[in-house]
Structure 1
Amino acid sequence: MQPKEYDCKYAYAVKFHERVSRHLLGETIPLKAEVFHSVEPVPFQLAAAGKYRPISEGESWGGAWESGWFRLHAEIPADWTGRQLALRLNLGGEALLFDRDGVPQFAFSAGSLLGPDFRKEIYRLPDCPAGRQAEFLVEAAGNVVHGLLPDSDPELGEQNPYGRFRAVAATMRIGCFNHELWQLSLDLEILLDLLKVLPARSRRSDLILAAVSRAADIFAEEPGNAARARAELAPELARPACSSSMTVTGLGHAHIDTGFMWPVRETVRKCGRTFANQIDLLEKYPDYVFGASSPLHYLFVREHYPALYEKVRQSVRSGRWELLGGMWIEADCNLSGGESLVRQFLYGKNFFRDEFGIEVKNLWLPDIFGCPASLPQIARLAGCPNFVCQKMSWNQTNRFPYHAFHWRGIDGSELLTHFLPEDSYIAFVRPSELIPAENRFNENTVTDEFLSLFGIGDGGGGPKEEYLERALRLKNLEGTPKFRFGRADAFFERLSRCADSLPSWSGELYLENHRGTLTSQARAKRSNRKLEEQIAATEILWSALPPDQYPAGELDRVWKIILLNQFHDILPGSSIRDVYENTEKEYADARATLMRLRMEAAARLLKPDTECVTFFNSLNTEFRGSVELPADWDGAGLAGDGVRVPVQREGNRRYAAALTVPPLGFVTLRRIGRAEHLRAEEEKSPVLENQFIRYRFDSCGQLISAFDKELQREFIPSGACGNAFTLYVDRPAVYEAWNIDDSYRNRPCAKVRAEAPCRITRGSVRDTAEFHLKIGCSTIVQRVILGTSSRRLDFVTTVDWREARKLLRVAFPVTVQAAESTADIPFGFIRRPTHTNTSWDRARFEVAIHKYADLSEPDFGAALLNDCKYGCRLQGNTIDLALLRAPKFPDWEADRGEQCFTYSFLPHPGDAVSSAVRLEAQQLNRPPFRFDGRSGTPQLPVAIESEHVELSALKKAQQGSCLVMRLIERSGRYSQAVIRTSYRLVETSLLEWEDGREILPEAGLTTISFHPFEIRTFKLY
């Protein structure tokens, strides 16, 4: 066969397949339809009472995010008796078919921007309708799989910035399904897809094309000839795979984003549609296995579709439905705090155990935007030694080298890890995907098997029936890997048998993509950080009371608000406006609940006294710094001994005091005397100075000198400035809210300028310089604060952010030569090169930090602390913090308006670990609680004395009445903690399921040793 002849025959074969596929439903009749339209979703129980109107094919029934219930009727022709019938529905969006009892049966989808594989229009009815009358009830949603139809790169004059959508009932029909024609279509589909990856003009290719040509001749455009046409293709589908071909374990999958291009309320319905589809397929295909993650999604189904949930429970018991992932949801792990990651497992695994009696042993994050190096230990301690991911395949610069490997964390813990070689968690079971996956699988000499997650994701319903039919044809087909249905847990059991021969990867999993998610949607990130700190402190406070008073239910509810909104498209900032409007309401609810709970605890722990105010320090290290006093306090002294503390009046009814609060302790101040009244002065060359350090500023608030008096060192390079704001044009090539391209540095568009002279206030507590600044279209007000006994310089910042597609950063160049930076991550820290020697180093131009980033030499260094920022550039001798972005997709209003945050510059003796950097960052993020009109110094049930061991949690156990204490070694060294308590300590896991070694304090005292970065959890009995 000559090349041109081959091309001609291939083109003819494709057209033949298209013609066959168009006529799967032969004779059809339109359904008589009525629709009940509503703006908000209406449950099945109330749908019957709706006001219905007639609707015909081609009519519009609703707009974006609206809902409609359709009553469909048909009179079945007599000559259809005994034939297989099918519905063909395209209602313009997503839709769910219910039976008469309100149990979901099957989900339809009008399609997606991602292609025809996402469309589901045909549902083969399992039984012919009784008699000649057929009735159906369908709920439709005014959105497609990916929400609305937005412009992913909208112009600033866009008239529909949130997308366009009009739901149209395009197709409403019932007809006779031609099963043999469908099978012919699937046969052709597999063979033609195989031709895409076979060498042109190979014997295998020629044989396939010849068989297809004969089948087309036999078919002769007559559907009744489908079986004979299939017989011509059968020999080519029967050729067995090569003995050295790899095996694919195929697990049906539906990656359901908890919030993304649709609001969370729509996720509830997406779960219902997906679960209904998969129950239908499990009933039709006895070998098929489906798996789904996220216990929250199961809770949605349990609450909204209880009968469907029972079917899921039965499928789980049979082993056909696999529970995946130990986390409550598939959380973002770069931004979530360490204790939040623990609670993801605590709530997730407990739900699966309570509801299904199953312990899930895998960490399931196929779509995560990178992972911190502390995650392996957290997952292993939570009983999840296996990990599935694939997102590193999205790297923009370097190809990640492994697909099956050990991922080693900062403490040495390892996870057996599988990166999906199809580079996707939305696979379609096609030779054109599986053959390249087999070819790129790097550990193919160690194992002969890899995992494939196939099915429509993003709430699109999981695998279609066609996907399962493809899988059956690929069980043993020449030229392709051998495909079989299977479970992920069994796959990992087999993979573990060759674990000794697998390679290892140490440190973080850095995604060379989506770096903008460290900064986008700053309000959500700030609320998340504040709530993480507030709920941990509130739990510690309530632990001072008897366990039977502990408000476990309300704290659990707040934790679940936090955990839900840590989903990997919500907290990172890559969801639509509707998501964040709901998130802001939930965060406000959580803050109000925690505030009320703190007041209730204080009312039980402290005495009423209108002349007193009490501060509670929930950290296990001493707090030393300034605190705000109640309005109109003119002076204060320590209750009991009356020793005055420094107090200064800083403005109208605003007072600050210098205070020391012991670890996990209380201090009460009594109103006495009068405060030091300060006068603000204007200065052209502001200076803030104390016994340790002297800071000089220019008129724009830029730091032109930071001279440490003790170290006799200048920390700002000559000719440079710290606190240097720069506004950049921020137009990434793709994925606007997700990405920051390194080329932004070539597009600075504005520098900061002063709007008014600097005003300085000085006092015995702290000195403050106030700057009013302008940059671009936005204004910045900064109160720069230096305490009398601290090197830490706080930049308390308010921005009226009015930009579009701009990036605001602040840079601190320092006179430190550091080959590595040090940055805080959940439950530890990580060091990264500051040079760009390799492509891997250059790709890390924006990295994740938590509370601090540091550049140090052995004897000194400088750190930048923050209370809610995560994106940072740490290259050369500069710490460059990303503050705000202004993307327009997918949220047109992202971050506009007032923004508040604090960052702090901290020169220090010693390196990052031996200095006070971590402790100062803790105190910035979690200042003491203040209780006005209360006095007292109650005792907590435990005290922890250690420079390096941090109290992460002190709370009531999930089950039982004891308390649980979690301690973390944070300095990366062998450390000890002295524990003072009258309780006996029993070591337990993160999940609190079992009791381990018991420790009996002697005379209320015991010492516990820790390995570097070790996490240890104890029950207090």
Structure 2
Amino acid sequence: MHDDTSLTVGRVTRVLTERLWPAVHAVSVPFTVEAHTLPGEPVPPSAGLALDYAPYAVGSPWGPAWGTTWFRLTGDVPAEWAGRRVEAVVDLGFDVAEPGFQCEGLVYRPDGSPVKAVNPRNHWALVSPSADGGERVELFVEAAANPIVFGPVRWKPTHQGDVRTASPEPLYATRRMDLAVFDEQVHALCLDLDVLLGLQAELPVGQRRSRILRALDDAVDRLDLADVAGTAASARTALTEVLARPAGASAHTISAVGHAHIDSAWLWPVRETVRKVARTTASMAALIDETDDFVYGMSSAQQYAWVKEHRPEVWSRIVDAVAAGRFLPLGGMWVESDAVMPSGESMVRQFLYGQRFFEQELGLRPHGVWLPDSFGYSPALPQLVRRAGFDWFFTQKISWNQVNTFPHHTFLWEGIDGSRVLTHFPPMDTYNSELSGAELALADRQFRDHRIASGSIAPVGWGDGGGGTTREMTGRAERLADLEGSPRVRWEHPDDFYARTHDELVGEDGQPRPGTPVWVGELYLELHRATLTSQHRTKAGNRRCEHLLVEAELWAATAAVRAGAAYPHDELDALWKQVLLQQFHDILPGTSIAWVHREAVEQYARVERAAEELVARSLAVLVGDGSDRIAVNGAGSARDGVAAGGAVVARGAAAVAVPDTSVELHRDGDDVVLDNGVARVTLSPEGLVTSAVDLRTGRDAIAPGGAGALLQLHPDLPNKWDAWDVDRFYRNTVRDLRSVDQLDAAIDDDGVARVVVVRTISPESTVRQTFSLAPGSQTLHVEQETDWHEVETFLKVAFPLDVRADHTSAETQFGHLRRPTHVNTSWEAARFETSMHRFVHVEEPGFGVALVNDSTYGYDVARDWVADGSLTTTLRLSLLRAPRFPDPDTDHGVHTHRYGLVIGTDVGGAAREGARLNTPARTATGAQGFEPLVSVEGDGIALSSVKLAADRSGDLVVRVHEVLGGRAAGTVRVADRVSSVGAANLLEEPLGDRPETDDPATVAVVLGPFEVRTLRFTR
């Protein structure tokens, strides 16, 4: 025995790496290989198998970026391999350091049935578990030459992030394409040594570690390196005793679930994700067949739908594995969406379409929300999760925090309405676990809730096309099921983990047990803050389409009820699913390659056209023929037009009254003054807002000496993740845009005062701001057109406000979130860039100001002292960025932003103005008007959506919510005959609660703060 630990570890590591792993497939013969390179996009497997193949020499280059090459492999199993397990070993030119970001392949049999994928950490595919010897083998490999876009390659002029700009040169060269014997004993010895090496590295000096080191030395002593296959079994016997020692009674339990986090688009286009999912699920189905207890979990109904549509031969294997309880649908959402920027209605549809797919296609519903990788989590989610019928929530991303370590791994998360959901973060700090000794020890060591909980989750497998869980991982799990010095590992459905954990945290009375932690409010990720701004066109498309689809549903429902029109279920479903897909957490956040965002913008334009056509169709039915012009802005109504969460806001379908006030525009020296009797706004010769007076109170919203609508530029080169991050030091340098090229002022034919300001940003970029003040309006609107061609630059617009605000109130799904404006603690200091939807509001007693917007999600706030010692608040909207990775042309081109300064308002007024900006009134031509289909009365109650039920029963589904953060009482009235009404969950299913009412068309509602209520009316 060697006393020197490092000598033993070094010896065993080298033998394992250089001799044993290569010996797993040491006996082999080469395939005869032929190939066919497709000239364009992929073809279905049936077409791939029928291609004309030409001879190919292994080692030759193949695969221009984003291309597909089909390989045909043929060979004969040697007679002497009879009774042995025979596999195909295929190395397409893999780099094991990047398992999910390069070439991949899916192996098919001649009949088109899939075998499994080949990936950088998973080169094999089964030919026969016990060969006859002498049989003919024919296999096909659909190989994708996805480029590696990480690293220095991203700076090349010909960048690989779009098929239109990618290099035509081959990227890869194959290394091996062989028929080989799989040596089970050598493979098992590799895993024995691997597990023990990992375990001993985490143990303290003592008997257990010393005995493992001795056993490792003994095993290698028994191994004849000239005859590895013949001596592997003997070497394993030296390890039997140390592998048989059981774990301690109080050992931490790891609930492992197979996993392959597959981004629905990121460093590859959506079309490639379709194939990544097919490859991975084929491999996982194969691994399920070869194991007894392994379970694999996959989220995202969209990904299942892709397999069903494009790879039915793989889909049938998924269906069978789901029925056997081994393939686990997780999450219940259409995709693993961003959880901050989508509207409330969008989040509802993520759940609605996700759960309906899983139930209709697979006969089950996931019980938890699985979002390991989104970039922060809205405080509205706990309520939405519970009201959609889910019991638990899972993520891992908060472990990426830059500044503050999150204090819990297992806890109750409380949202803005008071709802709570059982939540778990894996202490392993990864969703790509290999079940290594280091990972297991980390999970045990840093699990912060040992006092109340006994275990944690480990998502196990290579993600993003890396192939998922491997047989090496299942082999480790087998050895770690009950091993001294290690947490216990068992394959387990997350539902079972959460059920056990719930009993540990919550008593039989439903109350948290003493010591159970509760986290209140948002789960803010102290990283990736720039995802609120990158790729503005994608964000603008999302916002516009969210509102249009809710509006289209509302008008279609009105046309169906009022005029008997057919409700366009199929069209709306297809449009919603496209928008939901693009809310995936690397599309909407702006962090994908150029190809992805190019297609996303094209799809948003298509959805917008289709939704507008649906609205027009419904309005045509409703107003009939004629020449009267009827101004309409919704088919429902709400108090003061207040709404949030993507709602269409309405005051009825009658003509919209124009205020009797008029707007004056005059010069005061070099200043331009706009006055409509409600607000008086002064713009300086620099085109900046130097005063914005609320004439009702006499208060000026602009801080003394300040200038609003000031565009500011910052250098923007974060330390690591270009499109994702903005680091705090960006604020150290700022350039104000004060120079004016042009300033024109006039009152247009509609009586609106407009001031146009044109500025030069740089020789490459310009900006045009149009300020407008309408009669009777308290909002100064700005329409900004920016021709943007900057690089690594951040554009913001600042409003210094004469408000001493202790907090901001920023809209989130179905409500708003209050955040402190101070930085007393590291937690507040880390929130230097935060999220909003349509408005952010600040106030002091008696006076408030808001900024509203149509396509912006990021903002920052600062408390500033002015010369006289008073405290002011500066709000800045984040408008554009210009990162170089993964899209070197991010945001280049022309952009339109619309935003507004609401002068003198409370948070309800901010919500109303934000909704108005995002849902402008419509004018329809026809012969008749009509009453609103749904009307809402009650302070603080907003109408969020009106639609026909997804189950196509014809029932009317109406969703309302409380918007001010207080308690509210009111009524919801349907202007149609209904037979009954009842409460429903977010999946539109009756809850059994039937309000007491003499007239089911008029329902009294009482809502708690930010409560969301769904009502279902049977017509």
TM-score, with normalisation over the residues of structure 2?
A: 0.91
Query: Please, which of 299, 308, 311 is the counterpart of residue 317 of structure 2?
Result: 311
- Secondary structure, in 3 states, of the residue corresponding to 1:363? strand
**Residue of structure 1 equivalent to 2:14:** 15
**Residue of structure 2 equivalent to 1:644:** none
Residue deviations 1:745-785 (CA, integer Å, cap 9, x gap): 01224534211233333666321111111223421111101
Q: Is residue 752–residue 775 contact of structure 1 (8 Å, CA) maintained in 2?
A: no
**Residue of structure 2 equivalent to 1:188:** 193
Residue deviations 1:968-1020 (CA, integer Å, cap 9, x gap): 11111111222233434222111123352334454964422111111111112
**Residue of structure 1 equivalent to 2:884:** 888
CA 1:154–1:269: 2 relative to 1, 3 Å? closer
- Shift of residue 235, structure 1, vs aligned partner: 1.5
Residue 215 of structure 1 pairs with residue 202 of structure 2? no
CA 1:155–1:273: 2 relative to 1, 3 Å? closer
Moved more, 761-770 or 565-574: 761-770
Residue 581 of structure 1 pairs with residue 573 of structure 2? no
- Shift of residue 120, structure 1, vs aligned partner: 3.5
**Residue of structure 2 equivalent to 1:651:** none
Query: Please, which of 918, 924, 933 is the counterpart of residue 941 of structure 1?
Result: 933
Please give the residue correspondences for 1:422-821 in structure 2 after superposition, counting only pairs within 5 Å: 422-499=428-505, 500-501=512-513, 502-546=516-560, 549-610=566-627, 612=629, 614-618=631-635, 620-621=637-638, 663-667=651-655, 684-749=670-735, 751-761=737-747, 765-776=751-762, 777-821=764-808
Q: Is residue 325–residue 364 contact of structure 1 (8 Å, CA) maintained in 2?
A: yes
CA 1:122–1:7: 2 relative to 1, 3 Å? farther
- Shift of residue 196, structure 1, vs aligned partner: 2.6
Tell me, in whole angstroms, the C-alpha distance in 1 between the residues paired with 2:489 and 2:134. 42
Residue 46 of structure 1 pairs with residue 42 of structure 2? no
**Residue of structure 2 equivalent to 1:27:** 27
Q: Percent identity?
A: 35
- Shift of residue 359, structure 1, vs aligned partner: 2.0
CA 1:593–1:834: 2 relative to 1, 3 Å? same
Residue 994 of structure 1 pairs with residue 986 of structure 2? no
Q: Is residue 686–residue 758 contact of structure 1 (8 Å, CA) maintained in 2?
A: no
- Secondary structure, in 3 states, of the residue corresponding to 2:742? coil
CA 1:258–1:415: 2 relative to 1, 3 Å? same
- Secondary structure, in 3 states, of the residue corresponding to 2:7? helix
Tell me, in whole angstroms, the C-alpha distance in 2 between the residues paired with 1:891 and 1:683. 47
Query: Please, which of 112, 125, 141 is the counterpart of residue 144 of structure 2?
Result: 141
Q: Is residue 613–residue 669 contact of structure 1 (8 Å, CA) maintained in 2?
A: no
Read off the aligned partner of 2:981 and give its amino acid letter.
L
Query: Please, which of 848, 866, 871 is the counterpart of residue 835 of structure 2?
Result: 848
Read off the aligned partner of 2:972 and give its amino acid letter.
I
Tell me, in whole angstroms, the C-alpha distance in 2 between the residues paired with 1:901 and 1:1006. 40
Tell me, in whole angstroms, the C-alpha distance in 2 between the residues paired with 1:486 and 1:296. 24
- Shift of residue 130, structure 1, vs aligned partner: 7.2
**Residue of structure 2 equivalent to 1:869:** 856
- Shift of residue 153, structure 1, vs aligned partner: 8.7
Read off the aligned partner of 1:832 and give its amino acid letter.
R
Tell me, in whole angstroms, the C-alpha distance in 2 between the residues paired with 1:219 and 1:481. 30
Residue deviations 1:18-70 (CA, integer Å, cap 9, x gap): 12112211221111111121121111111233221111111122211111111
Q: Is residue 389–residue 418 contact of structure 1 (8 Å, CA) maintained in 2?
A: yes
- Shift of residue 624, structure 1, vs aligned partner: 9.0
Query: Please, which of 122, 126, 130 is the counterpart of residue 129 of structure 2?
Result: 126
**Residue of structure 2 equivalent to 1:172:** 177
**Residue of structure 1 equivalent to 2:870:** none
Tell me, in whole angstroms, the C-alpha distance in 1 between the residues paired with 2:454 and 2:684. 65
Q: Is residue 115–residue 125 contact of structure 2 (8 Å, CA) maintained in 1?
A: no
Q: Is residue 268–residue 301 contact of structure 1 (8 Å, CA) maintained in 2?
A: yes
Residue deviations 1:206-247 (CA, integer Å, cap 9, x gap): 222222222112112021100001111222211221222111
Residue deviations 1:436-478 (CA, integer Å, cap 9, x gap): 1111111112121111110111132210111000100111111
- Shift of residue 924, structure 1, vs aligned partner: 0.8
Q: Alignment length, in residue pairs?
A: 966
Residue deviations 1:278-303 (CA, integer Å, cap 9, x gap): 11111111111111111111111111
CA 1:429–1:553: 2 relative to 1, 3 Å? same
Residue 953 of structure 1 pairs with residue 945 of structure 2? yes
Q: Which runs of 5+ in 2 are unaligned?
A: 94-102, 506-511, 643-647, 864-872
Moved more, 876-885 or 936-945: 936-945
Residue deviations 1:466-516 (CA, integer Å, cap 9, x gap): 100010011111111011111111111111111233210011110000001
Tell me, in whole angstroms, the C-alpha distance in 2 between the residues paired with 1:830 and 1:136. 57
Q: Is residue 623–residue 923 contact of structure 1 (8 Å, CA) maintained in 2?
A: no
CA 1:995–1:187: 2 relative to 1, 3 Å? closer
CA 1:161–1:418: 2 relative to 1, 3 Å? closer
Read off the aligned partner of 1:1007 and give its amino acid letter.
A
Q: Is residue 152–residue 890 contact of structure 1 (8 Å, CA) maintained in 2?
A: no
Tell me, in whole angstroms, the C-alpha distance in 2 between the residues paired with 1:83 and 1:925. 67
CA 1:558–1:664: 2 relative to 1, 3 Å? farther
- Shift of residue 799, structure 1, vs aligned partner: 0.4
- Secondary structure, in 3 states, of the residue corresponding to 1:186? helix
Residue deviations 1:255-309 (CA, integer Å, cap 9, x gap): 1111111111111111111111111111111111111111111111111222322
Moved more, 67-76 or 154-163: 154-163
**Residue of structure 1 equivalent to 2:958:** 965
Q: Is residue 852–residue 902 contact of structure 2 (8 Å, CA) maintained in 1?
A: yes
Read off the aligned partner of 2:930 and give its amino acid letter.
P
Query: Please, which of 252, 257, 264 is the counterpart of residue 258 of structure 2?
Result: 252
Read off the aligned partner of 1:37 and give its amino acid letter.
T
Tell me, in whole angstroms, the C-alpha distance in 2 between the residues paired with 1:564 and 1:472. 37
TM-score, with normalisation over the residues of structure 1?
A: 0.91
RMSD: 2.4
**Residue of structure 1 equivalent to 2:818:** 831
Query: Please, which of 916, 919, 922 is the counterpart of residue 915 of structure 2?
Result: 922
Tell me, in whole angstroms, the C-alpha distance in 2 between the residues paired with 1:1002 and 1:233. 78
- Shift of residue 567, structure 1, vs aligned partner: 0.4
**Residue of structure 1 equivalent to 2:377:** 371
- Shift of residue 661, structure 1, vs aligned partner: 10
- Shift of residue 87, structure 1, vs aligned partner: 1.2
Q: Is residue 149–residue 160 contact of structure 2 (8 Å, CA) maintained in 1?
A: no
- Secondary structure, in 3 states, of the residue corresponding to 1:549? coil
Read off the aligned partner of 1:991 and give its amino acid letter.
L
Q: Is residue 574–residue 890 contact of structure 1 (8 Å, CA) maintained in 2?
A: yes
Tell me, in whole angstroms, the C-alpha distance in 1 between the residues paired with 2:445 and 2:696. 61
- Shift of residue 428, structure 1, vs aligned partner: 0.5
- Shift of residue 317, structure 1, vs aligned partner: 1.6
- Shift of residue 129, structure 1, vs aligned partner: 6.4
- Secondary structure, in 3 states, of the residue corresponding to 1:830? strand
Residue 198 of structure 1 pairs with residue 203 of structure 2? yes
CA 1:350–1:66: 2 relative to 1, 3 Å? same
Read off the aligned partner of 1:947 and give its amino acid letter.
D
**Residue of structure 1 equivalent to 2:96:** none
- Shift of residue 119, structure 1, vs aligned partner: 4.8
Q: Which runs of 5+ in 1 are unaligned?
A: 112-117, 626-659, 671-675
- Shift of residue 580, structure 1, vs aligned partner: 1.1
- Secondary structure, in 3 states, of the residue corresponding to 1:72? strand
Tell me, in whole angstroms, the C-alpha distance in 2 between the residues paired with 1:703 and 1:350. 51
Residue deviations 1:284-343 (CA, integer Å, cap 9, x gap): 111111111111111111112223222222221221221101111111010100000000
Residue deviations 1:406-435 (CA, integer Å, cap 9, x gap): 000111111100111111111111111011
